Amino acid sequence: MKQKHWYDYLWIASAAYLILGFFNILFAWLGLLCFFIPLLLAIGGKDKLYCNRFCGRGQLFALLGGRFGLSRKKDVPQFLKTKAFRYGFLIFFFVMFFQMLWNTYLVFSGVQDLRQAVTLLWTFRLPWQWAYRVETVPLWVSQFAFGFYSVMLTSTVLGIFTMALFKPRSWCVYCPMGTMTQLICQAKHREK
């Protein structure tokens, strides 16, 4: 049996993130770790180490789909593997991310009021007022948290959906962070 390491349990952090954000939206800021660590590792020459070893979300999908049998374990359709789909999804992801940053800026500048809602699949507004408890932080801090949690929840739902239909880690095929780290690795290897 393969020896377990501390990083084999990062799926707990991924699940805890979703749960904590459910009760206090400010925990959404912790998701930035999942955004910057993969990029820093790739830039630092560790290539896809984050995806292969440290991604708690991928581990969570592997656990749910593998050990708990929630996956059909079918091959991912070819179109999900194409550069066109992966880069298109990355661009779409960035558009949604920058829209979230824009809304945060509007709240910061006083042009817009705080929107206490998480948006699932960038379309469906979920009421989240009860999760907003901290009155001591600026409104823009909370707005960013609502937006970032929306992005993280949406990507988790997409990952669970593809996990159920296909192989457990099907999300990893088109994950925007995986695509970005792959682009960084390709650029670095071209320089050599």
142, 134 Cβ separation under 8 angstroms: yes
Burial label for 3, CB within 10 Å (0-12, 13-18, 19+), is: exposed
**Each residue of 37-66: pLDDT tens digit?**
999 999 998 888 999 999 999 999 999 999
The model scores a pTM over 0.75:
yes
Q: What is the pLDDT of residue 133?
A: 60
**Each residue of 2-33: pLDDT tens digit?**
789 999 999 999 999 999 998 899 999 999 99
- Report the C-alpha gap between 38 and 19 in whole angstroms: 22
Q: What is the pLDDT of residue 128?
A: 72
- Report the C-alpha gap between 68 and 88 in whole angstroms: 32
Is residue 175 pLDDT above 70, yes or no?
Answer: yes
